[in-house]
Structures are given as structure tokens and as C-alpha cells.
Structure 1
Amino acid sequence: VYAGQAAQYRRQAGTTTELVNPPAPGSAEFARWMEAACSAPLRQGNRVAVLRNGDEIIAGMLDALGSAVETVDFCNYIFWKGETATSFAEALSERARAGVAVNVLLDAYGSAKIERGLIPEMERAGVNFSWFRSPHWYKAHQFNNRMHRRILVVDGRVGFTGGFGVADEWIGDAEGPEHWRDTHLRIEGPAVRDVLGAFMENWNEATHCFLSGPHLPELAPFDDGVDVQVARSSPGHGAATAETVMLAAMCGVRQRLWITTAYFGPRRAVIDALVATAERGVDVRLLVNGSHIDKELARRVGQRSYATLLAGGVRVFEYEQTMMHAKVVVVDDGWANVGTSNWDNRSMSLQEELNCAIVDAGIVATLEKHFLTDFDGSEEIELARWRDRPVASRAYEWVGEALRHSL
């Protein structure tokens, strides 16, 4: 199975598609394109808040959990043992004991480090718990396809998604190497149903149960709300939605394309598109992990492309304060994409992902401030110095390149 997937990846590595008369992200034309090409309905009238780092994310999510009256639908790739996991398990259990319908879905691979005693405790409290794709010999072909989504929906009305994982690494405000840097969204309004739809898709696969009733209330738009399009990626549907949106954004961007990703290692066509975008005069910046990354080999995969990117005019920054786990894209002054997808092959073709495209100058301005702060905490890579890196570093990059398909 792995060999077949790897061979397919190499055949398609340099293949891309052309967007004729590309519309600008943030325009009505681009929204219509996303609706048609990515099955991402345009939802108007949403209230969106950007949550930066664990202090804001954890407090916001636990507060929303505590307010649940009828339903809680929660899934995550990461649920590791520690203080944070215990706090979430207790909050979920408390709501279940209060009569709230609580559904919890965890990825069997990503959450393998969970404190096992938490699961029966939640179930005794009334939580409906399930694993996503537990390892079975008859499902070996699916094992490399994981659920990387992170979703919390409360009463069908308040939704959260982004990069946050339930682990102590997210505690704090990214003030040191042990406190990770991340970005999450809190959403109210019609787009919450699309966030819930992604949860329902994975919940149905795992439990063969459809959700209805109080999980799906009427969601009226807010007069002061913003446009949001929620795009799902899934191996069952080709899994290319996240990459497709980014390639289209690169075609239509006019002035600025800033990218933050935890892991960078896309196929060659994406590298070529980034360079082509920079060569058009667009300010293209890539913010990735430096020495604090949790998967060094994944870092080396990205570094294999630095020379090409730098020579083509893309500015590359390595974040040196802590582990950078955010997945954010800002295009020009009015469009942003925040979610669970990294710029690597796992997110682009192997995993279940969820991303939110937001059309709002205020949200973009907030994310721009975050970018500028993160750039200040990074080292910008210079082409001349990069070309003089040691032979050992180049060899490590070649090892990563051989495994790019699954990193």
C-alpha cells in the first residue's frame, strides 16, 4: 500500500492545473470558484475571533464547553496525557453527567499517547467515545490516512477549529520552548454547520451513526458578521482540496502571500507555484519551524527546497522561539485561510483536514500583527549562506526527500 502511494506521489509531484483568468482571493468571483471547485459554500454573517496560543485557546474552548446545554461534538488528532487532557476530559464528562449529548472522536494514531484511564472515566460519565481508524489488518490500506481535524462544536452554534491539540505543549503563551505557538478560530453563525459537517463525516465513518436534531439548529447570520468558506479535505475525496485552494490563491494574489506552517514539504508543483508567484512581484514569505521543531526529519524535507525558493524570490523565515504549530495564510489585505492543514504531503493528500477561508480586513489585520511578531522571533534564511551549509546537512535533507511522501 505504502509503495503504491509513494509511486503515485512521485508521478504527480510536478503536475499542476491552470486557473484561467484567476480571480483575486477575497473577491466574489473567488468565492464562487471555491463553492464550485471545493464544495465550500459561501456563508455570510459569521462572527470570527482569532485565538493566539494556549492561554486564549484553552480558556475559550473550556468556557464554551461549560456553557453547553444540549450537544457537544469534539474531535482531535492529538489528545495526550497531562494536565490539559485531564481538564478537557473532566469538562466533557461534567457536561455529559448534566445531560448534554457529548460525542468525542480521537484519531487512533495521533492520540495513542492518551492516558488510557480517561476513556472509561468519560464513558462512565455518559460520553459517547470512539476511535477513528483503529489499526486492523483488514483496514491496512487506510492506516496512513489519519484524521488531522481539530473540531469543537457546542450546541451546534459555536465552533472551534485550527491547530490546537489537547496536550500540555499548548499551555501558556508561547513564552518558551516548552510552550508551543499556535492559532485557532472561534466561529459563530452559519459556517458552524459546515464545521460540524466535517465532524459528522468522520463520526459517521467511526460509529455508523448520523447526528440530527439539536446538533443542527437554525443558524441566523449576524448583521456585523463576515464571509467564511469551510473547505474539507479527505483521502476519500481525492484529498487535494487544501492544495487546490492554495494553488488558486497563488494564481490570484496581487500583492502579498504570507504563509505559516508547522511542516513544509509539498510536491514540486507547489514549490514551482510559489516561485512563479514571487517572480510576479508578489511579497511571498514562508514562516516555518527552526531548531525547536518536534520532527527534525520533516524540517529537513522543507529545507531541501530552500535554495529553489530563495533563488526565486521567496523569503524564508525559521521560527526560533518555540515549536511553531500554526497553519495560517494571508493573501493581500482581505483574505485569510486558517485551519488544520500544513504545507506537506500528509495534509495535502493523506489526511482528513479542515480549513476556513475568511474574507475580512479586520481578521487579516490581526493575523498580520501575529506574522510581524513571529518574523521578529525568526531567523531569515539568506541564499548565499544557505548554499554554504555543511555536507552533513545536505545528506540529512536527501534522507528526508526519500520519505517526503509520508512526512
Structure 2
Amino acid sequence: MKRRTRWLLWTTAGLASLFIVGNILLFNALPKPMRLTAPVTLDYGVADARFERSMGLVLQQPITTGNDIELLRDGKAIYAAMLGAINAAEHSITFETYEFWGEDSAGRLASALADAAERGVAVHAVLDFIGSAQADTDKFDRMTDAGVELIRWREPSWYDLARFNHRTHRKLLVKDGHTGFIGGANVADNWLPGNDRTAYRDNHFRVRGPVVGNMQAAFAETWIDASGELLLGDAYYPALEPAGDLAVQVVNSSPREGRHRVRKMLLYAIAAAEERITIGTAYFYPDADFLDALTAAAERGVDVRILVPGDSIDQGFVRHASVNRWGPMLEAGVSLYEYQPSMYHSKLMSVDDRWATIGSTNLDNRSFRINDEANLNIYDDAFALMIRELVESDIADAAHYDLERWQQRPWRKRLFGWISMTIGPHL
């Protein structure tokens, strides 16, 4: 009995030691990145040369000149432009998206990608596993049978469960290395009108110029993670001539250490605002420090306007959790609007009509810490003004959510909001 007891004690001690040493090694090998928690204060604005210079250095992302960006409004125009690019591709297509399902949208795109592969184009597609779970498997079979290199991102596996919640939320398409697409729209039938649905309101953008090479590099990074393969050569990275006058920066963000870039980028831009901040976002549930930054901007006289979905939001729990935290912002003078006609899904921000950011990033914890995201920052007065006016045109179809309405909201909505807030850090 004593021998058995000693054996159990030694075994227990050994397992405990292995657990402790294993955790030490694990947390040293995979240290947790520090979040920006201290308030950002600046004595200059976005028009100052220091803003652009610091953005390039702090985010470790180059700012390229000579680019052109074309607005594409809503699903019909977005998908038509993307299909046109795929059908015209001669060398390569790289495609990454979160949602991918539906016959009218994903079905047509899957067929176009398959046709491109059959005519000899190198086609690489990364579709998020959760976002494409609704798709019929025949779409995947059609593509892979044609030669499309297709990867379902983060498909459940016992050896990778710790990263299962890390989704790709990027919306990237690059044709022949010289024409790119980026914005808020997934590839799903919700973005198209139907007999029983109203199409989501969204914006996407067609990009030409040297910055497309950086968009390709953002996709290539995901492709390495997913396949272990490095994409190289003129088919993916051709020499790119200037196509316009815009100075543009790709900002790609991911859950990995040192790569939580979008939250840092947005906090810096908010701190630099002197006149106005105009935001359109599908999901508005950032952390308390981020809300404090918006509140502080309003308190120093910045006109802060934020457009979010109304009753048509597809994730109501996010809306109620968000509304419960609006009080201090509303008291400080932040203007909040809820879009009425349909689900608002765009992701836009303009500061002082000088700087704008577009892409896949929502103002929520998932985009800041959990998802892979990609945005373009544009350093141009005319473009930033266009983004502000684009959001304001949708504010015309929104209901103003003022402080009186917030104070008088029903107790059941407050309760639902508090319940939703308990899982807020994991949303």
C-alpha cells in the first residue's frame, strides 16, 4: 500500500511539474500581446505630415501613391464587377471572404472561378469555414474539380481547437495582381434583393495601382497560414504603374501577436480628429477604452456621427448590448443613427475630410482582437469627403437615437442588453 501511495504521489507530482513547465513554455512561446489602454493624445491633426508619417511607421505598413479607387454600391453592382474581373482574368485570381453561400451570389461566383481555372488561370480561394457552412457542397466540388485551390479556413480539427474562433473576415479579390476589390460585402444572397428579402446596404471598392500589390501580399499571408505555400512571380506580383492620384495604405490585422493593428489605427485617427468623425459600421460593440476615445473627441468639440443598423440587424443581441453603453457618448454629444430600410453592413470612417478607412473592419471586439481583417487607409481630401457624404446619404434614411430615447428605453431591452453584455468580450 505504501508503495502504491508513493507511486501515486510521484506520478501526481510529475504530472503537476509537467503542467507547470508546459504552461511556462507555452506562454513564453506564445506571449499575450499587450492592448493599447492608455488614452492617445495629440497636438496635431490628420492634415499634419506627422499623422501620415506616424501611421506608416506605427502600423508597419507602407503608404503607396498613384492609386485609383472606384465605389461600388450594393450587391448587384459589386458582384457584377467582381464577376467581370474573374471572367477577364488571364494569369491569377486570389479570393478571400467570410460568408459564401446562395445560388444567385456564391453559385455564380463559384462557376466563374471554376471556369477561370479550366482555362488555365491559377485560382486560389480561402473561404471561412463558418461563413461558408450554409453553402451547398456542390459549389466546392465544382471549383475543386475544375482545379481551383480551395481552402475552408479553420475547419474544425482536434489539434487546432484553440484557434477555431479565429475567423477570416476579410473580403479580398485580386485579379492578375493588378486589380483588387475590398469592402464590406460578403458573397451571399442577403446582398441581393429577392422575393422575401430586402438586400443589405453595403459598399465595396475596385482598386487599381501599386497598392494592389500590398493587397495581394495580405492574401498571400493568409495563404501561407492555410497551405504552407508562398505565392510568387509575375502572375501574382506584376510591375504596377500609377493608375490615379491617391495615397493608400493596406492595414491587415489578425489575432497573432503584434498584429492587432486596426484598433490601434482607429484610436490614433480618433485622437487626431479636430473637426468631425463620420462612421458607418455594421456592428458597434467596441471596448470601454474605445468608447471613451469617441466620448473624449465629442467633449473637445469634434462632431462625431455614427451610423449603425436598426431593427433589421441580423444579430440583435449585439445591438442591445451596444445600446446599453451609449449613455456617456450621448451625454457628450455623439450623434447616433439607426439605418431603417434594411440591414446596414458597410464599414466606413472619415476624419476631418482628410483621411478615410474602408474595408472589412467593424467597430467591435471580433474585428479588433479575434478576426483576420483588411482595410485600406486613404490619405486624400476628396476621397475622405466622398466617404463622409456617402455615410451622410444613408443617415438621411436613419432614425436619430438621442439621449431622451436612450433614457426612456423599455426595461426589457435594458435587461436583454445587460444579459448580452455578459458575453461581450467574446462577441
Which category of TM-score, normalised to the shorter sequence, fits these structures? Answer: over 0.9
Identify the range of structure 1 (316-325 vs 232-241) with the bigger mean alpha-carbon deviation.
232-241
Per the alignment, in what secondary structure is the counterpart of residue 214 of structure 1?
coil
Shift of 1:30: 1.7
Alignment partner, residue 89 of structure 2:
68
- The residue type equivalent to 2:311 in the other structure is S
Per the alignment, in what secondary structure is the counterpart of residue 316 of structure 1?
strand
1:343 maps onto 2:367 in alignment: no
Aligned-partner Cα distance in 2 for 1:51–1:306: 31
CA contact (8 A) 1:239 1:352 kept: no
Q: Point out where structure 2 has 5 or more consecutive residues left out of the alignment.
A: 1-31
Alignment partner, residue 77 of structure 1:
98
Deviations along 1:200-241, one digit per CA (max 9) or x if unpaired, are 111111111110113433443426321001111110134421
Is the alpha carbon distance of 1:273 and 1:20 closer, same or farther for their aligned partners in structure 2, counting shifts above 3 Å?
closer
Alignment partner, residue 137 of structure 1:
158
Aligned-partner Cα distance in 2 for 1:28–1:68: 38
Alignment partner, residue 310 of structure 2:
290
- The residue type equivalent to 2:385 in the other structure is A
Per the alignment, in what secondary structure is the counterpart of residue 329 of structure 1?
strand
1:97 maps onto 2:118 in alignment: yes
Is the alpha carbon distance of 1:401 and 1:101 closer, same or farther for their aligned partners in structure 2, counting shifts above 3 Å?
same
Aligned-partner Cα distance in 2 for 1:13–1:291: 36
CA contact (8 A) 1:43 1:229 kept: yes
Alignment partner, residue 195 of structure 1:
215
- The residue type equivalent to 1:25 in the other structure is V
Per the alignment, in what secondary structure is the counterpart of residue 142 of structure 2?
helix
Aligned-partner Cα distance in 2 for 1:302–1:367: 24
Is the alpha carbon distance of 1:239 and 1:398 closer, same or farther for their aligned partners in structure 2, counting shifts above 3 Å?
farther
Aligned-partner Cα distance in 1 for 2:200–2:78: 12
1:43 to 64, 67, 90: 64
**How high is the TM-score relative to the length of structure 2?**
0.89
Q: Point out where structure 1 has 5 or more consecutive residues left out of the alignment.
A: 1-10
Deviations along 1:156-196, one digit per CA (max 9) or x if unpaired, are 00011111111111125x99962001111111111111111
Is the alpha carbon distance of 1:83 and 1:208 closer, same or farther for their aligned partners in structure 2, counting shifts above 3 Å?
same
Alignment partner, residue 320 of structure 1:
340
1:206 to 194, 208, 226: 226
Alignment partner, residue 6 of structure 2:
none
CA contact (8 A) 2:99 2:187 kept: yes
Aligned-partner Cα distance in 1 for 2:279–2:336: 10
- The residue type equivalent to 2:187 in the other structure is V
Alignment partner, residue 87 of structure 1:
108
Deviations along 1:256-276, one digit per CA (max 9) or x if unpaired, are 101111011110000100000
CA contact (8 A) 1:177 1:321 kept: no
**How high is the TM-score relative to the length of structure 1?**
0.93
Alignment partner, residue 384 of structure 1:
404
1:309 to 329, 336, 350: 329
Per the alignment, in what secondary structure is the counterpart of residue 100 of structure 2?
coil
Aligned-partner Cα distance in 1 for 2:241–2:46: 22
Aligned-partner Cα distance in 1 for 2:34–2:220: 32
Structure 2 counterparts to residues 225-236 of structure 1, below 5 A: 225-236=245-256
Aligned-partner Cα distance in 2 for 1:96–1:22: 53
CA contact (8 A) 1:189 1:219 kept: no
2:170 to 133, 149, 154: 149
Is the alpha carbon distance of 1:164 and 1:268 closer, same or farther for their aligned partners in structure 2, counting shifts above 3 Å?
same
Per the alignment, in what secondary structure is the counterpart of residue 235 of structure 1?
coil
Aligned-partner Cα distance in 2 for 1:127–1:216: 15
- The residue type equivalent to 2:357 in the other structure is N
1:299 maps onto 2:319 in alignment: yes
Report percent identity of matched pairs: 35
1:274 to 269, 286, 294: 294
- The residue type equivalent to 1:329 in the other structure is M
1:249 maps onto 2:249 in alignment: no
1:17 maps onto 2:38 in alignment: yes
Is the alpha carbon distance of 1:60 and 1:22 closer, same or farther for their aligned partners in structure 2, counting shifts above 3 Å?
farther
CA contact (8 A) 2:355 2:378 kept: yes
CA contact (8 A) 1:13 1:269 kept: no
Alignment partner, residue 168 of structure 1:
189
Higher-Rg member (1/2): 2
Per the alignment, in what secondary structure is the counterpart of residue 237 of structure 1?
coil
Does 1 or 2 have the higher relative contact order (CA < 8 Å, sep 6+)? 1
Alignment partner, residue 8 of structure 1:
none
Shift of 1:28: 3.0
Identify the range of structure 1 (341-350 vs 26-35) with the bigger mean alpha-carbon deviation.
26-35
Shift of 1:110: 1.5
Per the alignment, in what secondary structure is the counterpart of residue 346 of structure 2?
coil
Deviations along 1:48-104, one digit per CA (max 9) or x if unpaired, are 112111122111111111110100000111101321111100110111111100111
Aligned-partner Cα distance in 1 for 2:410–2:358: 35
Is the alpha carbon distance of 1:279 and 1:152 closer, same or farther for their aligned partners in structure 2, counting shifts above 3 Å?
same
Per the alignment, in what secondary structure is the counterpart of residue 196 of structure 1?
helix
1:114 maps onto 2:119 in alignment: no
Deviations along 1:113-132, one digit per CA (max 9) or x if unpaired, are 11111111111111111111
Coordinate RMSD, CA, aligned: 2.1
CA contact (8 A) 1:13 1:268 kept: no
Per the alignment, in what secondary structure is the counterpart of residue 61 of structure 1?
helix
Aligned-partner Cα distance in 2 for 1:12–1:228: 27
Shift of 1:385: 2.2
Per the alignment, in what secondary structure is the counterpart of residue 167 of structure 2?
coil
1:364 to 377, 384, 404: 384
Deviations along 1:314-371, one digit per CA (max 9) or x if unpaired, are 0000111100110000111121100101000000111100011012233223223322
CA contact (8 A) 1:78 1:106 kept: yes
Aligned-partner Cα distance in 1 for 2:358–2:48: 18
